[in-house]
A = this chain, B = another copy of it.
Amino acid sequence: MEIRILSHTPNPELIVALAARQSWSSKKVEDLKKELTPEKVSSFLRKLYKMHHLSPFEHANFTFLVEGISRVTSHQLVRHRIASYTQQSQRHVEVTEGKFVVPETIKNKSSTHSLYTKAVKSAVSIYKKLINEGVPLEDARYVLPSSVTTRIIFTMNARELLHFFKLRTCIAAQWEIRKVAEEMLKLVKEIAPNLFYYAGPPCVEGICPEKKFCELFKKYYKKKS
């Protein structure tokens, strides 16, 4: 899995703070901009978050390139509807290298690991045979396992990212999309630490909606960190 930020709103924190500030002020936007020192931006953004005034966070956009994730994960990813996706097409691009994801629970045991690896490689080789027999790419792909990797470029704004992180960095999330989310969070925090100061699973704010799993999760989560 490789994740990079291809592009983002320049000065995302200033833009968000400025948009929010001017909505409560009669001052000129240029004057408000001058007043917004980095310290003020920082404290103001955290205050906005705490008050759940999240709509200004939408002005900051981030474009990610994600490579080497399974289609299990891309299928979950694109369920987040407030975002823009451009995914590598299995209709038009042949899966040549046949890279695939191996879950830890399978990798951990040599018997399951070899069973799995053989199965995936066999499927990829049958995919190639089908193509050689004249089957179109878009049909041969039906034999490919969900573990075969894909590439996707997507753009999300900071408000949707905060929501995404809430769901997907949680221990209740499926492990691969959690890895994607954790890596994304690390990357956006480098660019905009104050926009994402409170980002993370709901328990970061002291609230866990999935209460019945709570003890298990807390324990596991601690063990992890």
B-chain residues with CB within 8 Å of residue A139 when the two chains form the complex = 103-106
Q: Does A1 contact B (CB under 8 A)?
A: no
Contacts known (A51-B210, A91-B174); A71 close to B146, Cβ less than 8 A: yes
Asked if B7 and A70 make an inter-chain contact with CB atoms under 8 angstroms apart, the answer reads no
B-chain residues with CB within 8 Å of residue A202 when the two chains form the complex = 52
Tell me the chain A residues, 64-88 only, with Cβ under 8 Å from chain B.
65, 67, 70-72, 74-75, 78-79, 81-82, 84-88
Q: How far is the CA of A112 from the CA of B132 in the complex (A)?
A: 10
B101, B116, B175: which contacts A126 (Cβ < 8 A)?
B116
Tell me the chain A residues, 90-118 only, with Cβ under 8 Å from chain B.
90-94, 96, 100-106, 109, 111-112, 115-116
Q: How far is the CA of A23 from the CA of B150 in the complex (A)?
A: 10
B-chain residues with CB within 8 Å of residue A50 when the two chains form the complex = 209, 211
Of all chain B residues, the one with the shortest Cβ separation from A173 is: B91
B19, B71, B86, B119: which contacts A19 (Cβ < 8 A)?
B86
Q: Smallest distance from the beta carbon of A130 to chain B beta carbons, Å?
A: 6
B-chain residues with CB within 8 Å of residue A134 when the two chains form the complex = 105
Q: Does A9 contact B (CB under 8 A)?
A: yes
Q: 4 tightest CB-CB pairs across the interface, nearest first?
A: A58-B84, A103-B139, A52-B209, A81-B81
A sample of 6 inter-chain contacts (CB < 8 A) reads: A23-B87, A51-B211, A72-B141, A78-B79, A106-B135, A143-B146
